[in-house]
Structure 1
Amino acid sequence: MNYTDHPPHRCEFDWCEQTSRHPEDGHSAEIGYTPATLSTLSTVDSSGASFPAVGVGVRFLREEPGVYVHISCDQPSIDVDVDLRPEEARRVVDAIGIALSLAQSAPNATEPPLST
């Protein structure tokens, strides 16, 4: 079956960024990426800086909505997707909130500016 056999993706979700004409591709949207500048995988040398990145988004898998976390890094080569059901994502958000509170209360805690 050719992609042109299907009408363009018309979606009921205003957040969906899916452009595929293939109906099985479902729904997805990238929310954004954040560099992990404290990571031991970060490098800064004469050629510039390289940081791992953590991205999040939403997509449907097996007709079920979920949140994905994407971790990528050039050196070493890392490219991992973790797909979470909404209740699993909520537990991760709650755990990150606790960890963030503890990290911010530690001596020498800094708040680097977020890049957009």
Structure 2
Amino acid sequence: MPDGVQIDTDGVNDFGRGMQQQTGDGFADIAGRGADLHRQGVGFGSRMTPSDIVTEAKARYAQALAHAEANLRAYQQAAGILSTVAEQIARDFASADLSSAQAQQQVESMINSAMVEANRALGLQDGAV
């Protein structure tokens, strides 16, 4: 096996396209269903005499829903970033000599940059996974 990066550009491109489709369709569908389920707000406790405990529970539940929806949007953004770089790698290196040190560094740099950007979208620090 030769030294260097071995890339099945067709496979990487298929992966990128599939992830891009999930980014547009899959995450949007899930987020839409979640929004539909919670559009009316927090319903539990509405037929009870208001109490501090119920009011606090409703506030925490509403906050959890907001965080879940924000996470879905962040995951959608991160998936879009990673799918874009996968498609770019497949396109850029379809006919390149991937055994060269320069090509290896370029692929590594593209992946690292995408991971940093995806981690930021997820609210993680640069080195976190």
TM range (shorter): under 0.3
TM-score (norm 1): 0.27
Larger Rg: 2
Per chain length, whose mean CA-contact separation is higher, i.e. which structure has more relative contact order (CA < 8 Å, sep 6+)?
Answer: 2
Q: Which structure has more helix as a fraction of its residues? A: 2
Structure that is richer in strand per residue: 1
